[in-house]
Amino acid sequence: MKFGVVTFPGSNCDQDMIDALRYDLNQDVIALWHKDKDLSMFGTEDCVLLPGGFSYGDYLRCGAIAKFSPMMQSVIEFAKKGGRVIGVCNGFQILCEAGLLPGALLKNQNQQFICKNVFMKSENTQASITKDVTGRPLMIPIAHGEGRYYADDATLDELFKHNQVLFRYCDEFGNIIEQANPNGAIRNIAGICNKERNVFGMMPHPERASSEILGNRDGQLIFQSLINNN
């Protein structure tokens, strides 16, 4: 399984992602540039990642400009053919803007940038990225100003009906409660996937919790689940 990590102007977590995959998980990683288009080296069993940061400065709206980049046109086609795509933080925003995932990421409820460790839990036993981590709270860092997931009631009902919710914010004991919700995300949603379960988006940063040096390896478990269930 190969991983590709896209760098946009304003990306600031691309090297974090590359290091976590290459050195902490011993995976084959290829750096991708936003102006390029070639994804011919990847098959549907491989994965392209959109990292966190502030693509194109977030001058219009988070992720709104990045969706028009040459590379994103190829990523969209790659996803439509069944290739795996993961968007983390700004990458999640890009996936929503590009229409690969439903809903939107709005400004945090407190209107402030939040950077801290949070807990999240998965109850999704069908998605490859969560199969091995269901039922246990994971401590993963967040760092965003616009991470409040929102969708209308009809979309939310579809997400839960088709088991597309990947992660929900919880407390350290796994209780999904309002007090554990850091940004006001609707129904405590921290991550979702598409119906085909090959496109994944999440606001928390698993690449920042994948090394003993960082004092936390919970994020590594998420990547390992994807690899194990490829």
Q: In sequence order, which residues have a C-beta less than 8 Å from that of residue 2 and are 6 or more positions away?
A: 27, 28, 29, 30, 41, 42, 46, 47
89 is catalytic: yes
User: Which residue in 47, 89, 96, 193 is the catalytic one?
Assistant: 89
Residue 24 CA to residue 182 CA, distance in Å, equals 28
Tell me, yes or no, if 144 is annotated catalytic. Answer: no
Annotated active-site residue in 62, 96, 170, 205: 205
* Distance (Å, whole) CA 183 – CA 190: 10
Q: Is 97 a catalytic residue?
A: no
- Decide: 112 and 92 in contact? Cβ < 8 Å: no
Catalytic residue among 96, 170, 193, 207: 207
Contact 159, 190 (CB under 8 A): no
* Count of helix runs (H) and strand runs (E) in the chain: 5, 11
Task: Please identify every residue annotated as catalytic.
Answer: 89, 205, 207
